[in-house]
Amino acid sequence: MCCVPAGSDILLEADPFAQIEQAVQDSGAAAAPYLESPHARMDKTIVELIYNAPFPPAARSHLESLLIAAAKPLELLDFKTSNPSEFYNELSLPDLLKCRKFSFGPNPYVLVADGRTLQELNGNGAVVPTIQVVLANSFTPMQEWQAYKGPGDLGFLAPFVRLALLRAMMEERVRLDRYTTVWFWEDDKKLTSESQYNDSMWQMKALRATPNGAHYACVVYTVKDRNAMHALYSTEAAKTDGVFHGLKD
């Protein structure tokens, strides 16, 4: 079986139309043209499938053929893969994001096939292969200041005192978020200048999912609050050995 060529589109498995339709309906009127007819066309969301382990060509073909076989003709998403000779070698999520120059393409989420995926593919069909759906959110101290609604006017603080306070508030918030997988500062140098008000802090959240669950999550992420949905899906995954299979009616 041939590998899917670089840049090929892959449509992953979809849940029943009623589930996706309900998610789109909940998002508001922007989705109305699609809901008028199951055959109406929308601009597709492009999500990339990244290989974070040395998948042999046969394993890549196997995974991609499983995704294609699971697809249904909703035509809401396109999934793109890298060149068959390109992969990352078990990078941590922060290192993976850094290697991608802090971008997963047009969307702040991506699919990652990792070492566990490869082991599952080599398991002679004993389990359904799983992949990671990874969210990447970024914030800056300036954005934190603009959103600040607490007591007192932070403008009266000395610049570096204010900057240190804003950074501490950001760090505390992501630490308290139970669904945070990892967080880090894009530039971790010591505070030296006011320009660091625009330094980005990254928060990454990973969801282990079957192809069906990954497709379901990505479809809903395009129309609803991703962080809220990630929390819901993580809760559901905890009921099934940490793997999200999609939601049932």
Condensed to tens digits (0 to 9), the pLDDT of residues 217-234 reads 988 898 899 999 999 999
User: Of the candidates 226, 215, 230, 208, which has an alpha carbon nearest to the alpha carbon of residue 15?
Assistant: 215
How far apart CA 4 and CA 65 sit, in angstroms, is: 9
How does residue 69 score in pLDDT terms, banded at 50, 70 and 90? Answer: low
How does residue 75 score in pLDDT terms, banded at 50, 70 and 90? Answer: low
Condensed to tens digits (0 to 9), the pLDDT of residues 84-100 reads 677 888 999 999 999 99
Q: In what order do the strands lie in the sheet with 109-113?
A: 9-10, 77-81, 45-51, 109-113, 131-139, 201-209, 182-185
Burial of 157 (0-12, 13-18, 19+ CB in 10 A): middle
In sequence order, what are the beta bridge partners of 201? 139, 185
Condensed to tens digits (0 to 9), the pLDDT of residues 120-129 reads 999 877 789 9
Specify which of 10-14, 56-60, 124-128 reaches the highest per-range mean pLDDT.
Answer: 56-60
Beta-strand pair 77-81/9-10: antiparallel
Region 203-230: what's the mean pLDDT? 92
DSSP code string of 88-126: --S--HHHHHHHTTT--SSSSEEEEE-HHHHHHHTSTTS
